Amino acid sequence: REVRSSSEEFAGRTKEAVVGCEVLPLSAEMDSRNDSSPRHGLAKFARRMNGVSMEVVCVAVGLAFMVLGAVVSALFFVPADRPDVNALKCVPVDPQPVPDVARTDAQKCEPVPCTPVEVAQTDDRSACALSLRESDGFYCMSDSEWNMRKEIVRAQAPNQCWEESCCKADKESPSWYWYNFEPEWSCVQTRVGGIGDGGKWMCDLHIIEERAKKTGKKCLIYSFGSNNDFSFEETIHERLPNCEIFTFDPTLAPRNMTVKNPPYVQFRHWGLKGEDSFDAGMQFYRLDSIMKKLGHMDREVDIFKIDIEGHEYNAFQGFFKTGVESKIRSIQIEVHSAPRNGQFMLDLRRAGFLVYHKEPNYVEPKNLHEIAFVRISTQFLESMNDPLLGVHCGSK
């Protein structure tokens, strides 16, 4: 419509925007040109298309190119003697594997029904000694896979946090979240909890489940901050029914709220802080005190979900003083203050935690973000000479 109503103006603006192309304006003067003129043919085509939906034309042209592409692919890009990949199953690697370049197709695969395989995780513990050692027994994968992941983390490290941006955040700007600590660890992520605020992304739940089955010990989940909403606990129980779930919130009793926890959730009216204290009628404990009271000091907290409205920074200082963070496998946290995030994230990294998920909370995206970590190990980071291990903010 724009071309037909104001073709000269459109042609002029197009010449300015698109360099190196010839622009053919359509005007009434073209009607007097002979039929052999390319411009005249284009004008006739435009008149004939008047009233015809351009969407229909675009769809028709698109379908024509799709069919043409399929024909070309079938004729030129599918080897006739290539075996059906759906009927292949890879042969287990020999103790002294032959390089792939020296193996024939017959050696690599055999035509039997294919079975899905978890390639990143293996049952052969002797083949994954490096990953077991550098993940404190959580991951079991080949050395090549493990070293590839290490290279990814090492390559991204320089961009994760620089002192100028990391430690000098502007509270009124979301720029800290734009420039610092992007996800660097890849895992199978599962959304747990309600839609929007309150839901969390979990990392490798299948490994947590498998480890619990192999050891015969129940997995352990801590959830701090509920506001009497147990959608997170309900969803994680459906996914990991054999886990013990403990939820903590000291704010319900002062508000005379009746706790509505499901029967499989053990609820405590306790809050989390950097020191044991009693404040405004509420009881607060350090994490190590809570674990001692519950008899969990010899266990690992597989999932540590925390949303305590800005008190997380003080609470985690208690972690770092006592070393109890080494008993946590994964953390799903909502952070509330960009200016305090720099040292907090650096401290978690020195404890062996890597970011696997990050997203804004659109209630207040300038300061509220959901960030999730999985603990690999300090040994993992030391082995790759992580440059962030030596970075400190001027003040905490």
* pLDDT (0 to 100) of residue 114: 42
Strands (E), the chain: 88-90, 109-111, 189-192, 200-203, 220-224, 244-248, 265-268, 270-272, 277-279, 282-285, 303-306, 330-335, 353-360, 369-375
What lies within 8 Å, CB to CB, of 344 at 6+ separation is 312, 313, 316, 335
334: phi then psi, degrees, rounded to nearest 5: -105, 120
Residue 225 gets which letter from DSSP?
Answer: -
- In this structure, the number of other CB atoms found within 10 A of the CB of residue 274 comes to 19
Nearest CA to 117 out of 144, 94, 96, 88 is that of 88
- Ranges of the chain with pLDDT below 70: 1-59, 61, 71-125, 163, 170-173, 394-396
pLDDT tens-digit map of 88-119: 334 444 444 444 444 455 444 444 444 444 44
Nearest CA to 118 out of 135, 98, 87, 139 is that of 139
Angle of CA points 127, 129, 133, to nearest 5°: 160
Angle between helix axes 312-322 and 338-350 (nearest 10 degrees) is 20
Q: Please spell the DSSP secondary structure of 110-160, one letter per residue.
A: EES------TT--S-GGGGHHHHHHTTTS----HHHHHHHHHHHHHHGGGT
* pLDDT (0 to 100) of residue 362: 84
* pLDDT (0 to 100) of residue 41: 53
* pLDDT (0 to 100) of residue 69: 73
Helix (H) or strand (E) holding 368: none
Residue 322 gets which letter from DSSP?
Answer: H
* Angstrom distance (rounded) from CA 90 to CA 82: 15
Q: Which long-range contacts (CB under 8 A, 24 or more apart) does 109-113 make?
A: 109/83, 111/83, 111/84, 111/87, 112/87, 112/88, 113/87, 113/89
247 burial (CB, 10 Å; 0-12 / 13-18 / 19+) is buried
Q: What percentage of the chain reaches a pLDDT higher than 70? A: 68
pTM score: 0.69
Structural contact between residues 111 and 88, judged by C-beta atoms closer than 8 angstroms: yes
> Does domain 130-384 match CATH 3.40.50.1820?
no
* pLDDT (0 to 100) of residue 57: 57
* pLDDT (0 to 100) of residue 194: 81
* Angstrom distance (rounded) from CA 203 to CA 189: 5
* pLDDT (0 to 100) of residue 127: 86
* Angstrom distance (rounded) from CA 310 to CA 301: 22
328: phi then psi, degrees, rounded to nearest 5: -110, 135
What separation in angstroms does the CA of 344 have from each of 32, 187, 203, 322? 76, 23, 21, 16
* pLDDT (0 to 100) of residue 116: 42
- In this structure, the number of other CB atoms found within 10 A of the CB of residue 112 comes to 10
